[in-house]
A and B are shown apart, each in its own frame.
Chain A
Amino acid sequence: MRYLPLTETDREDMLARIGVPDVDALFSDVPNGKLLREPLDLPRAKGELEVERILGKLSAKNTAAGAVPFFVGAGAYKHHVPATVDHLIQRSEFLTSYTPYQPEIAQGTLQYLFEFQTQVAALTGMEVANASMYDGSTGTAEAVLMAHRVTRRRKAVLSGGLHPHYTQVVETLSEMASDEVVALKPDVRATEDILAAIDDSVSCVVVQSPDVFGNLRDLRPIADKAHAHGALLIAVFTEVVSLGAVTPPGAQDADIVVGEGQSIGNALNFGGPYVGLFAAKSKYIRQMPGRLCGETVDADGRRGFVLTLSTREQHIRRDKATSNICTNSGLCVLAFTIHMTLLGQAGLTRLAEVNHANAVKLADALAGVKGVEVVNESFFNEFTLKLSKPAAEVVEAMAAKGILAGVPASRLKPGAGLDDLLIVANTEVNTDEDRAAFARALTEVLA
């Protein structure tokens, strides 16, 4: 077996050195009759070539985003990632390292974590950011718990513009912890009266912008009302590229900001691994979940970085910890940081501009199709269409024509009267030909 260096002779010598007759003697604590004697009923070892063949076939059964005009978003986005990123994250010293528990031989990891925290804080307009969560949705649930710790209240109000899957993740955890959740109903046109739901019993208000339907929302009045009642505003985004073009939540007085960072540096991967961005006002730092990297000095006074404030974390605080998270999104963080470094604010601003320009072009093109209404007043690179036919059927019909047209809102939340809504994303990867093909096919499908 190519991955196992021991030879049969080695094994015999080692058993002799240990002083046992065979390897099963080392398994003597396994209860009687429970030790397996034969390999389990699974295929036997295979060479590289064969494994590659098997997985190659499975891969080929899927329609890759890059192979077709592709407009699917709703929480994960297809962007171009520079070749440099994937090369660098595959360097052995990054790929095969672990959580930097020994900082003297992990300054590479620690320094990029520090760079990442600085980038996320700058992008969101917040004072501090942590070293990542699993993804945007789990980060949102953690943010709600954090708000509960800060306010010592246990009721969260979720906007109807929050991604329904994020809502479900929050609801699941809250139900388990016996915390209250008030989830407003899907708010397609950003007209809900969330202010009315805020009172002195509320711990936090969770608002997404751009929201799941693509609308940009004004966070400032929500922050003001929340603060007047001793509650926190948690701002969420699923498309981090939007921060290159829109007012960041930090400038609107959000208390905690959570987002999905996949768009920068990370592939679609059918949903994971992704990278959760998590930022907050610094006064709440000791209630934050997850790892934090901090600057310090070594014995010679040279600058270095370490994991810090770990008395919040599970390995020290156990059942009093701010979160149970341990392994996070290390390598996805690195991918994010490298891509963001390549972009810089100049590149990110341009990238955001192109995304928005493309989305505007698509919206204009589709608005002219019979049976289509663009519902959004404002949007960044994603918007919602109201169609004359059920969106789920339309998407299937479009797929049959070789176009992946978007996400039917009903797939995210069935039975909520969203059947005629299609959420459409448009990034820098889409060309004029893609958009023309989309408009043409949609015209045919709706005819």
Chain B
Amino acid sequence: MLNRQGRPSQAGEGASERHETFTGNRALQQIEPLIFEIGHHESTGVDIDKPAPFKNRLGKHARQGEIGLPGLSEPETMRHYVRLSQKNYGIDTGLFPLGSCTMKHNARLNEKVARLPGFSDVHPLQPVSTVPGALDVMLELAHYLMTLTGMPAVALSPKAGAHGEACGMMAIKAAIAAKGEGATRNVVLVPESAHGTNPATAALIGFSVKSVPARDDGTVAVEDVKALLGPDVAAIMLTNPNTCGIFEPQIVEIAAAMHEAGAYFYCDGANFNAIVGKARPGDLGVDAMHINLHKTFSTPHGGGGPGAGPVVLSERLAPYAPVPFIHVEGGKSRLVEHKADAPEGNDPFGRMTAFHGQMGMYVRALAYMLSHGSDGMKQASEDAVLNANYIRAGLADLMSLPFPDHPSMHEALFDDEWLKGTGVSTLDFAKAMIDEGYHPMTVYFPLVVHGAMLIEPTESESKASLDLFIATLRDLAIAAKGNDKSRFTAAPHHAPIRRLDETRAARQPVLKWEKPVPVKDAAE
């Protein structure tokens, strides 16, 4: 008999009550144990035939004990990692205004071409004659990078921005040593607003770091730099546009002052996205600058890497570029892998990494460049800057701008002056944004601004998306000022997990899973 009633189409009584669930899950939000808690030592998700008996050649080195790692079948593995992915926020989820990180759209075309077998399935040490297309990609990428920056040379091999910084600073050190000043020039000037990698890099390479004070308007003054110059100064590491999102107005004068003093200008190019096709570092007096391909040229951030950090170099530093590099002469290209093979006039300072750098990232970045073209890249920078200033204009009456006198470039910086007396901190505000479905902006960086909030929307956002973001932040700002403290201090309320105890993590570090001691044994 047919059930004419059908299924209920409305919620029954008690619909608005929240219940704890038996599993602890909340529908799509699933609690997911660690693989060590669900796998078994005998389980595996791969089928590999046992080899026919043979006489092993491991000598006395054969492994004795068990490894102690569980495996999972393929369906279990799939489910485990899909569930983990659902606890993550990515650019594809929503606006990701993480200042200084340039979280722009990652085109899937780039993923597709990077996986072509001629790129992904070639070995760095197979005969060079079998990889002409790989060298072509590197040359083409180099051509784009040199044209966009107006610089005559580029070292491709550094693996990320910080590695690029090291590469550039090593070239500077080598150039100084070549002039016989290695023993005396060992100070590097770093503005207080700089990213932590800058002073860390300088120190890594054996320089000592001297701070350049921050001016009230968020920029570096040429007089302040000049006051620190002397025969002991090797270089300045200056970010441009700087970490406050401002184009350094005196950059040309600063470069000239460095050069006059016999020193070099390292530019941190993390914020290059603001000026691609608008201004060339080569026209500004830069000697070396790394480019984060994972920022400006959209190779995916992948949860914190991999990136790539090619370094463009001036005429003065080009001869010291590390191996390997491709040398082109008379229309022929040659891969130079050793100092001894370097062409006349080159004196490579050494090697940054085992192989040729981040080929997978080169292909993606090149696909981005080809897709955008010079017109699209210029437009992208303009849109990135426009979007940041639009957000700034939409929030400036509610939130405080530490540096109102300069236009923002691709990121808008606010401080926490406007939160004074509310009991809400920058961190609380950021966590409340999570509840609203946004990834927070960069907070507490740069250090020169109290309670910094650095918002970088990138060019990937539509006006509608920006309008909703502005409206949301306005609503939050009004709530913060209006005593609605709990919306902030206990936030996030709706994330998969609540605020985490970082102090405890650092005080009693638990850095890997340990098999729990059975209660019975523990008691004994």
A245–B58 CB distance below 8 A: yes
CB of B96 within 8 A of chain A? yes
Query: A338-349 interface mask toward B, CB cutoff 8 Å, 1 = contact, 0 = none?
Result: 101111111111
B48–A354 CB distance below 8 A: yes
When distances are taken between beta carbons in the complex, the residues of chain B under 8 Å from A62 are 118-119, 122, 130-134
A108–B34 CA distance with the chains assembled, in angstroms: 11
Distance (whole angstroms) from the CB of A242 to the closest CB of chain B: 9
When distances are taken between beta carbons in the complex, the residues of chain B under 8 Å from A5 are 460-463, 465
Distance (whole angstroms) from the CB of A271 to the closest CB of chain B: 3
Taking CB as reference atom, which chain A residue is nearest B368? A3
Distance (whole angstroms) from the CB of A295 to the closest CB of chain B: 4
When distances are taken between beta carbons in the complex, the residues of chain A under 8 Å from B78 are 84, 87-88
When distances are taken between beta carbons in the complex, the residues of chain A under 8 Å from B206 are 176-178
A34–B351 CB distance below 8 A: no
Taking CB as reference atom, which chain A residue is nearest B506? A308
Binds A, one of B79-87, B223-231, B310-318, B478-486: B79-87
When distances are taken between beta carbons in the complex, the residues of chain A under 8 Å from B334 are none
Query: B405-426 interface mask toward A, CB cutoff 8 Å, 1 = contact, 0 = none?
Result: 0111100000000000000000
B378–A39 CB distance below 8 A: yes
A4–B371 CA distance with the chains assembled, in angstroms: 12
A324's partner among B46, B165, B375 (CB-CB below 8 A) is: B165
- If A4-B379, A135-B354, A298-B501 touch, does A82 touch B67 (CB 8 Å cutoff)? no
When distances are taken between beta carbons in the complex, the residues of chain A under 8 Å from B178 are none
A26–B439 CA distance with the chains assembled, in angstroms: 26
A328's partner among B98, B305, B340 (CB-CB below 8 A) is: B305
Binds B, one of A99-107, A200-208, A435-443: A99-107
When distances are taken between beta carbons in the complex, the residues of chain B under 8 Å from A44 are 373-376
Distance (whole angstroms) from the CB of A168 to the closest CB of chain B: 4
Number of A-B contacts (CB under 8 A): 734
B373's partner among A45, A216, A274 (CB-CB below 8 A) is: A45
B82–A88 CB distance below 8 A: yes
A331–B300 CB distance below 8 A: yes
CB of A269 within 8 A of chain B? yes
Distance (whole angstroms) from the CB of A77 to the closest CB of chain B: 9
CB of B26 within 8 A of chain A? no
Distance (whole angstroms) from the CB of A155 to the closest CB of chain B: 15
Which residues of A58-90 are within 8 A (CB) of B?
A: 58-67, 70, 72, 74-76, 78, 82, 84, 86-90
A63's partner among B113, B130, B136, B366 (CB-CB below 8 A) is: B130
A134–B159 CB distance below 8 A: yes
A55–B349 CB distance below 8 A: no
When distances are taken between beta carbons in the complex, the residues of chain B under 8 Å from A278 are none
CB of A285 within 8 A of chain B? yes
A96's partner among B90, B159, B377 (CB-CB below 8 A) is: B90
B352–A169 CB distance below 8 A: yes
When distances are taken between beta carbons in the complex, the residues of chain B under 8 Å from A268 are 120-124
Distance (whole angstroms) from the CB of B345 to the closest CB of chain A: 20
When distances are taken between beta carbons in the complex, the residues of chain B under 8 Å from A379 are 57
When distances are taken between beta carbons in the complex, the residues of chain B under 8 Å from A267 are 115, 120-121, 360
- If A102-B434, A171-B350, A319-B209 touch, does A108 touch B130 (CB 8 Å cutoff)? no
A357–B54 CB distance below 8 A: yes
B109–A72 CB distance below 8 A: no
Which residues of B43-78 are within 8 A (CB) of A?
A: 43-46, 48-52, 54-72, 74, 77-78
CB of A414 within 8 A of chain B? yes
- If A4-B459, A102-B434, A396-B127 touch, does A297 touch B500 (CB 8 Å cutoff)? yes
Distance (whole angstroms) from the CB of B306 to the closest CB of chain A: 3
B303–A176 CB distance below 8 A: no
Distance (whole angstroms) from the CB of B389 to the closest CB of chain A: 5
A35–B460 CA distance with the chains assembled, in angstroms: 23
When distances are taken between beta carbons in the complex, the residues of chain B under 8 Å from A333 are 303, 305
A412–B283 CA distance with the chains assembled, in angstroms: 39
CB of A6 within 8 A of chain B? yes
A342–B81 CB distance below 8 A: no
Give the interface size bracket for B toward A.
35 or more
CB of B307 within 8 A of chain A? yes
CB of B103 within 8 A of chain A? yes
A345–B70 CB distance below 8 A: yes
B124–A270 CB distance below 8 A: yes
A291–B247 CB distance below 8 A: no
Taking CB as reference atom, which chain B residue is nearest A23? B382
A404–B353 CB distance below 8 A: no
CB of B287 within 8 A of chain A? no
A75–B84 CA distance with the chains assembled, in angstroms: 31
A336–B422 CA distance with the chains assembled, in angstroms: 46
A136–B98 CB distance below 8 A: no
B133–A60 CB distance below 8 A: yes
B119–A404 CB distance below 8 A: no
Taking CB as reference atom, which chain A residue is nearest B192? A318
CB of B510 within 8 A of chain A? yes
B127's partner among A47, A338, A399 (CB-CB below 8 A) is: A399
A293–B513 CA distance with the chains assembled, in angstroms: 11
A52–B112 CB distance below 8 A: yes
CB of A226 within 8 A of chain B? no
Distance (whole angstroms) from the CB of A290 to the closest CB of chain B: 11
CB of A376 within 8 A of chain B? yes
Which residues of B96-116 are within 8 A (CB) of A?
A: 96, 98, 101, 103, 105-107, 109, 111-113, 115-116
A105–B29 CA distance with the chains assembled, in angstroms: 12
B120–A269 CB distance below 8 A: yes
CB of A196 within 8 A of chain B? no
A324–B130 CB distance below 8 A: no
CB of A365 within 8 A of chain B? no
When distances are taken between beta carbons in the complex, the residues of chain A under 8 Å from B118 are 58-62, 64
When distances are taken between beta carbons in the complex, the residues of chain B under 8 Å from A195 are none
A345–B69 CA distance with the chains assembled, in angstroms: 5
- If A315-B196, A319-B202 touch, does A15 touch B386 (CB 8 Å cutoff)? yes
CB of B269 within 8 A of chain A? no
A65–B46 CB distance below 8 A: no
When distances are taken between beta carbons in the complex, the residues of chain A under 8 Å from B14 are none
Which residues of B460-506 are within 8 A (CB) of A?
A: 460-463, 465, 490, 492, 495-502, 504-506
Query: A312-332 interface mask toward B, CB cutoff 8 Å, 1 = contact, 0 = none?
Result: 011111111101111111111
B340–A35 CB distance below 8 A: no
- If A58-B137, A59-B116 touch, does A45 touch B252 (CB 8 Å cutoff)? no
B463–A13 CB distance below 8 A: yes
B460–A3 CB distance below 8 A: yes
B431–A35 CB distance below 8 A: no
Which residues of A82-125 are within 8 A (CB) of B?
A: 82, 84, 86-109, 111-112, 114-115, 117-119, 121-123
A270–B492 CA distance with the chains assembled, in angstroms: 43
Taking CB as reference atom, which chain B residue is nearest A210? B61
B306–A273 CB distance below 8 A: yes
A315–B64 CB distance below 8 A: no
Which residues of B14-43 are within 8 A (CB) of A?
A: 32, 34-36, 39-43
Distance (whole angstroms) from the CB of B318 to the closest CB of chain A: 18
A105–B351 CB distance below 8 A: no
Most buried by B among A13, A99, A325: A325
- If A41-B374, A45-B373, A292-B509 touch, does A314 touch B280 (CB 8 Å cutoff)? no
A342–B47 CA distance with the chains assembled, in angstroms: 10
When distances are taken between beta carbons in the complex, the residues of chain B under 8 Å from A313 are 196
CB of B319 within 8 A of chain A? no
When distances are taken between beta carbons in the complex, the residues of chain A under 8 Å from B63 are 243-248
A84–B121 CB distance below 8 A: no
A342–B46 CB distance below 8 A: yes
A404–B127 CB distance below 8 A: yes
- Closest A-B pairs by Cβ, 7 of them: A344-B71, A271-B355, A172-B350, A59-B118, A331-B302, A61-B133, A271-B124
Can you name 5 extra interface pairs (CB under 8 A) apart from A14-B389, A76-B124, A378-B59? A45-B373, A72-B123, A82-B45, A93-B92, A134-B305
Q: List, sorted by A's number, 16 A–B pairs whose CB atoms are closer than 8 Å.
A: A6-B387, A25-B407, A34-B283, A42-B369, A51-B109, A62-B118, A65-B126, A96-B93, A112-B84, A132-B305, A247-B63, A270-B122, A327-B305, A332-B306, A346-B42, A395-B127
